[in-house]
Amino acid sequence: MQIIKIGGNELDDPTFVDNLGQAVAALTEPVILVHGGGKEIKELQIKLGIEAQYIDGLRVTDAESLAVVKMVLAGRVNKRLVASLVAAGVDAFGMSGVDRASIRVEKLHHPQGDLGLVGRVTFVRTEVFKHLLEEGVTPVLSPICYGPDGSIFNVNADHVAMAVATAMAAKVLVFVSNVPGVLRQGELLPHLTAAEVEQLIADKIIVDGMIPKVRSATEAVAAGVQAVKITNLTGLQAGTGTTIVA
């Protein structure tokens, strides 16, 4: 079993979403798909006149912003992905961490300020996902999660993917984007340790948008995920990419 995490930038591309369905349909092992959608959230906030605020890269989520987050993540993005998967023949089920309280969280306290209704995962109800997978169903999980006393929290999608991968003892957590993996002079680096990743950043081999991708990967292996792969849709089907281990 593998956990696949899709970033928000890729979800804006209709071709990517269509091809995602076909790529997942071609896989031979069970999958849990976790998605973000930050770019669409920001665009809708602008349309509604809500100013987006961030602390250390994490979205500050007040009650007004949470309403937008739920609309985009549990609504527009989730259903777009489910529709693409079903069209490709995947028995996909759209859900959030609120459904069946599958992902329980508490308020995330950040030293640099109050993030509002942003949560930290404390528990994954693994039986919810195991039952779906046993029935041949592919969960498509948005990172809106269940908090204390029925409250609802926004959670970083990378963190939800990490928590699910660890709790489910997944073979690999795959971060799917628009790049085949980490490249050095145009050559794909198939395996890296966390220490090698930091050296490649220091040597300016890993630059720009790849830095947050590999940092998410090293954070995941530090949190207990066995291995994290960075790849694109072609690599997802072919089993290629850059695999990062502790």
Residue 110 phi, psi dihedral angles, 5° rounding: -115, 135
Say which of 8, 36, 235, 241 is annotated catalytic.
Answer: 8
Residue ending a domain, among 145, 170, 195, is: 170
- Among 213, 229, 235, 241, the one annotated catalytic: 213
Tell me which H or E stretch contains 32.
strand 31-35
Query: Do 156 and 137 reside in the same domain of the chain?
Result: yes
**In the numeric block, which tokens belong to residue 153?**
């929290």
Q: Is residue 5 flagged as an active site residue? A: yes
At which of 152, 170, 188 does a domain end? 170
Q: What is the pLDDT of residue 48?
A: 92
The whole-number pLDDT of residue 52 equals 83
pTM for this prediction: 0.92
Active site residue 158: yes
- Choosing from 21, 37, 38, 97, the catalytic residue is 38
Q: Where are the alpha helices (DSSP H) in 48-100?
A: 63-70, 78-87
Helix (H, G, I), strand (E, B) or coil at 207: coil
Pairing of strands 183-184, 228-231: unpaired
Of 5, 94, 181, 229, catalytic: 5
Residues 166, 188 within the same domain:
no
Full domain range(s) for residue 43: 2-170
38 catalytic residue (yes or no): yes
Residue 103: predicted pLDDT: 98
Catalytic residue among 147, 158, 229, 235: 158
- In this structure, the answer to whether residues 196 and 113 fall within a common structural domain is no
Whether 114 is catalytic:
no
Q: Rounded CA gap, 39 and 19, in Å?
A: 20
> Is 144 inside any structural domain?
yes
Give the pLDDT confidence score for residue 219 in this predicted structure: 87
Q: Going from the first residue of the chain to its last (246 residues), give the mean pLDDT of each consecutive group of 10, the final group possibly shorter.
A: 86 86 93 90 90 83 93 94 96 98 96 93 97 97 96 93 93 90 92 92 87 86 90 91 92
For the question of residue 8 being annotated catalytic, the response is yes
Query: Do 14 and 39 lie in a common domain?
Result: yes
H or E, element range at 174: strand 172-176
Same domain flag for 63 and 130:
yes
Q: How many domains does the chain have?
A: 2
